Amino acid sequence: MMKNGDVTAIFGEKVFNLPTMRERLPEATYEAFLKTINEGTKLDYSVAEVMATAMKDWAIENGCTHYTHWFQPMTGLTAEKHDSFIQPTQDRTVIMEFSAKELVMGEPDASSFPSGGLRATFEARGYTAWDPTSFAFIKDHSLYIPTSFVSYTGEVLDKKTPLLRSEVAIDKAAKRVLKLFGKSPSRVVTYVGAEQEYFLVDKKLRNKRKDLLLTGRTLFGAKPAKGQEMDDHYFGQLKERVAAFMKEVDEELWKLGVFSKTKHNEAAPAQHEVAPVFSTANIASDHNQITMEILKKVANHHDLYCLLHEKPYEGINGSGKHNNWSIGTSDGENLLKPGKKPAENVQFLLFFAAVIKAVDDYSDILRVSVATAGNDHRLGAHEAPPAIVSMYLGDQLTEVVTQLINGGGVKYEEGELIETGVETLPDIERDTTDRNRTSPFAFTGNRFEFRAPGSRQSIGGINIVLNTIVAQTLTEFADILDCSRNIAKDALELAIKTFKEHQRILFNGNGYSDEWVKEAERRGLLNLETTPDAMPYFKSEKSVKLFEAQGVFSRIEVETRGEIMMQEYNNTLHFEMLTMLEMANQEILPACLKYTKSVAKGVIAKKELGIDAPNEIAMVQKLTALTEELMDRIAVLDNATNVPELDPYATGMYYKNTVIPAMEALRTTADTLETIVGKDYWPFPTYTDLLYSI
Ligand code: ADP
Ligand code: MG
């Protein structure tokens, strides 16, 4: 626990970060290492040797007995296998050792991680390789070393390696464009700030629900009397238990070097958000994984459970992960900063146009990047953002783009003041971009905010796609402009031409209105409502060409990755279906039968006494009819468990068209029963219990 409010005293204390390295490494080693992380140069083996010993000594001093290569397999979770530092000696004692080889490379048995058939089971070897750009850290008495995970033949099996490749792609493409403007920064990187939403629930109550336990979301549950209609939770006062939880989360994250910055209550009851200060995409991705782990772990300390699922409760807002994304140079220039006069800032306009073109050209792949079974409950359901990919540029940039398209000049409303009307408060300068909360992809002043990602997703996959598609359009721009003799004029013309050609992707209205669905269709924009609808686009020829051209995925990597993602959807639905059946058969049905019986008994007893109870008789009839319906619907879903043997994509369609409707039907009946069966008889906590328990 922190003694006072000084975060600097604990920040990064569990990280083998630069200050610790400077203190513990010989100067030459430190300088060589800095060059690697700042300029992307290859790391010398001798550096790794010195590094390994220094890391080990530091880890042991801080209580570690083990180290682990920490990687991110295609499950979207992280994986770790711990080895102790011990090394037996001649005299049958041990010494603590950690070699360069152990730091640089690991060889976990990879056969149990999804590979889409890439790695035949007889060739179970996978390799983990140290990512020096993401610092090692300490958790639970182990030294965690962030690593990539690849197969014996070099194909990637994880989310980090392609993210690093996509960073290389954007670096290369952006530098080509910048060179035309006479600039040559040593590196161009993408920055990401991921706002993480989550729900908290009382752990004891959560453990009483098989659905929450096994699938992370409620598969049953009638609407509570009070939902989020009152709008009283967003930015509301933090409850004591929640505040104590958040305080510990912050402290843990700071110790692990995560720039945790913002915390608040979200729109739904028991929903919250935590956001860090942005960092480079790779680090942001590692840190987001750490954040999700810490949220879970710390919740446990407070008898809470953290639900990271995209839609824990039906009828209540789901959780997303806003991915704030920008491109910047090693010289500190944000390439998406419009400046005071964006219409005259040709370099900005070109990068801006590149993003617009990328999102329009590859909206299908961008949609795939956020397609999961959990996220299907948000996108395409009546909740922001919609499944249709469109962009919102904000008032000022919309004006700029419109004027440029129409060939007019641009008016500026610089630094317009909003009067607060209160004497003692300073007037605040109005943001040049207003908010459109319904837009899936919004420009917010100096970055784009991709709002479609699901709360439980790794942001690795999302930023691989974002980086790659923008690298692709920047490459195309560089190809066109390479032989330009008047870059200012030619680049401006290219930007304007791009704005004209991609106007259809720009939309400032209400993203979840029915009119937009129609309008988007008229514009020829895709509306891929579910994962099985979206996923085939990933393996299209266009997609393969894109990833190959940018050196991010090979053809086989695209194909296997598509299958893995599809398989994950199918597995999720399969578990949900089975869990639902178990709850219906073993818990809900017996409760309904028992309650009906007790009401019926009362009716019989009254009849013996000659008392008329017509309403109770009607109730028994109603309960019986609904219970019969419940049993019919259980039978339908039970029948659906005979999943035909098809390829993963066709199987996905089966889940969408056959299983999901059967699950929804069963839920409707069960939820109706919940509202009339006595509370004491209902077998598990209700929405009101779960949402208002803390
Ligand atoms: P809001 O909820 O109002 O959108 P937050 O403050 O919750 O904003 O989160 C905004 C996120 O965007 C933070 O993680 C922040 O660090 C990040 N961010 C700010 N500037 C940039 C930038 N240039 N590039 C990437 N991310 C950025
Ligand atoms: Mg926020």
Which CATH number goes with the domain that contains 489?
3.30.590.10
626 Cβ contact list (under 8 Å, min separation 6) = 592, 669, 672, 673, 676
Q: Are 160 and 460 in contact (CB under 8 A)?
A: yes
In a domain, 229, yes or no: yes
Note the pLDDT of residue 372.
Answer: 97
> Into how many domains does the chain fold?
3
CB-ligand 1 contact for 74 (6 Å cutoff): no
User: What is the percent of the chain where pLDDT is above 90?
Assistant: 80
Ligand 1 in contact with 278 (CB < 6 A)?
yes
| pLDDT reading at 419 higher than 60 | no
For tokens 């895709």, what's the residue? 526
**381 domain-assigned:** yes
The confidence score (pLDDT) of residue 420 equals: 42
- Number of alpha carbons in the 13 Å side-chain half-sphere of residue 396: 22
Q: What is the pLDDT of residues 33-75, one digit of tens each?
A: 998 888 778 888 899 999 999 999 999 999 999 999 999 988 8
Tell me if 626 CB under 6 Å of ligand 1: no
Helices and strands: H and E segment counts in the chain:
23, 19
CB neighbour class for 142 (10 Å; exposed up to 12, middle 13-18, buried from 19): buried
pLDDT single digits (tens) 517-549: 999 999 999 999 999 999 999 999 999 999 999
**Domain check: are 323 and 459 in the same one?**
yes
What pLDDT shows up at residue 122? Answer: 44
Adjacent-strand bridge partners of 202: 304
| Phi (first) and psi of residue 590, to 5 degrees | -60, -40
348 alpha carbon – ligand 1 mean position (Å): 19
For residue 559, tell me if it sits in a domain: no
Specify the residue with its C-alpha closest to ligand 1, atom 2.
195
Q: Which ligand ends up closest to the CA of 193?
A: 1
Of 496, 525, 553, which residue sits at a domain end?
A: 553
The predicted-structure confidence for 274-327, as pLDDT tens digits, reads as follows: 999 999 999 999 999 999 999 999 999 999 999 999 999 999 999 999 999 999
Give me ligand 2 centre to Cα 401, in Å.
Answer: 27
Q: How far is CA 604 from CA 592, 617, 676, in A?
A: 18, 9, 20
CA–CA dist 513, 501 (Å, integer): 25
Residue in this structure with the two tokens 């599809």, named with its chain if needed: 566
Residue 421 has pLDDT above 50, yes or no: no
| Cβ pair 279, 179 in contact under 8 A | no
Are residues 533 and 666 part of one domain? no
259 Cβ below 6 A of ligand 1: no
**Contact between residue 548 and residue 541 where contact means Cβ atoms under 8 Å apart:** no
Q: Are residue 383 and residue 489 in the same domain, yes or no?
A: yes
3-state class (DSSP) for residue 487 = helix
Return the C-alpha torsion angle 466, 468, 469, 470, nearest 10.
Answer: 80
* Helix (H), strand (E) at residue 317: none
What's residue 353's pLDDT? Answer: 98
Residues 429 and 518 placed together within one structural domain of the fold: yes
Contacts of 425 (CB under 8 A, 6+ apart): none
Same domain, 171 and 150: no
Q: How far is CA 596 from the centre of its chain?
A: 44
Q: For 134-159, write each residue's pLDDT tens digit.
A: 999 999 999 999 999 988 777 888 99
Last residue of a domain, one of 154, 175, 208: 154
Same domain, 631 and 673: yes
Determine the Cα–Cα distance for residues 479 and 547; give it in Å rounded to an integer: 18
Instruction: State the amino acid at position 340 in one-letter form.
Output: K
Looking at residue 157, its pLDDT comes to 84
- CATH code (residue 647): 1.20.120.1560
What range defines the domain where residue 513 resides? 166-553
The pLDDT value given to residue 519? 95
Residue at 449 is within a domain? yes
Q: Is the pLDDT of residue 412 over 80?
A: no
Torsion of CA 641, 647, 650, 652, to 10 degrees: 60
Task: Give the C-alpha distances (Å, rounded to integers) separating 174 from 298, 328, 337, 546, 588.
Answer: 41, 9, 15, 16, 58
> Are residues 517 and 373 both part of a single domain?
yes
Q: Write down the H helix ranges in 327-393.
A: 346-361, 363-368
Q: Say which range, 199-213, 333-347, 544-558, has the weakest mean pLDDT.
A: 333-347
Please tell me if the CB atom of residue 435 comes closer than 6 angstroms to any atom of ligand 1: no
Enumerate residues with CB within 5 Å of ligand 2 (an ion).
195
User: Are the C-beta atoms of residues 657 and 530 closer than 8 Å to each other?
Assistant: no
Q: 639 CA to middle of ligand 2, Å?
A: 44
Same domain? For 539 and 608 the reply is no
Kindly give, in sequence order, each residue whose CB lies less than 8 Å from that of residue 621, ignoring residues fewer than 6 positions away: none
* C-alpha of residue 324 to centroid of ligand 1, in Å: 6
416, β-bridge pairs: none
pLDDT tens digits, one per residue of 81-122:
999 999 999 999 999 999 999 999 888 776 677 776 665 544
Ranges 74-78, 410-414, 468-472, 514-518: which has the least confidence: 410-414
Token pair 């209105």 is found at 513
149 shares its domain with 282: no
Angle between helices 660-676 and 555-583 (to 10 degrees): 30
Nearest CA to ligand 1 atom 1: 195
With a pLDDT cut of 70, the percent of the chain lying above it is 94
- Note whether 29 and 69 are same-domain residues: yes
Question: What pLDDT shows up at residue 542?
Answer: 98
Q: Given ligand 1 and candidates 170, 190, 195, which is best to mutate, with the most ligand atoms within 8 Å of its CB?
A: 195
User: What is the model's pLDDT at position 131?
Assistant: 93
- Do 522 and 599 lie in one domain? The reply is no
Residues 187 and 130 in one domain: no
pLDDT reported for residue 418:
46
* C-beta separation of 69 from 147 below 8 A: yes
Residue nearest atom 13 in ligand 1 by C-alpha distance: 193
Q: Say if CB 394 and CB 506 are below 8 A apart.
A: no
* Domain-located, residue 563: no
How far away, in angstroms, is 171 Cα from ligand 1 center?
22
Question: Average pLDDT, stretch 659-687?
Answer: 98
| Beta strands, E only, 160-244 | 188-202
219 CA to middle of ligand 2, Å?
Answer: 28
407 Cβ neighbours under 8 A, 6+ residues apart: none
Q: What is the pLDDT of residue 435?
A: 66
Is residue 2 pLDDT above 90, yes or no?
no
Look at residue 343 and tell me if it is in a domain.
yes
Average pLDDT estimate for 484-500 = 95
| Ligand 1, pocket-test mutation among 283, 324, 355, most atoms within 8 A of CB | 324
User: Quick check: 405 and 414 in contact, CB under 8 A?
Assistant: no
Is there an atom of ligand 1 within 6 Å of 266 CB? no
265 alpha carbon – ligand 2 mean position (Å)? 10
Specify if 628 maps to a domain: yes
Task: Tell me whether residue 558 is in a domain.
Answer: no
Q: Indicate which CATH number applies to the domain containing 143.
A: 3.10.20.70
Rounded to 5°, angle at Cα 412 from 411 and 418: 135
Confidence bin at 374 (pLDDT 50/70/90): very high
Given 131, 154, 177, the domain boundary residue is: 154
Expressed in angstroms and rounded, the spacing between residue 275 Cα and the centre of ligand 1 is 8
Can you give the pLDDT at residue 431?
A: 54
For the segment 439-459, what is each residue's pLDDT rounded down to a tens digit? Answer: 999 999 999 999 999 999 999
Can you read off the two tokens belonging to residue 52? 């390994």
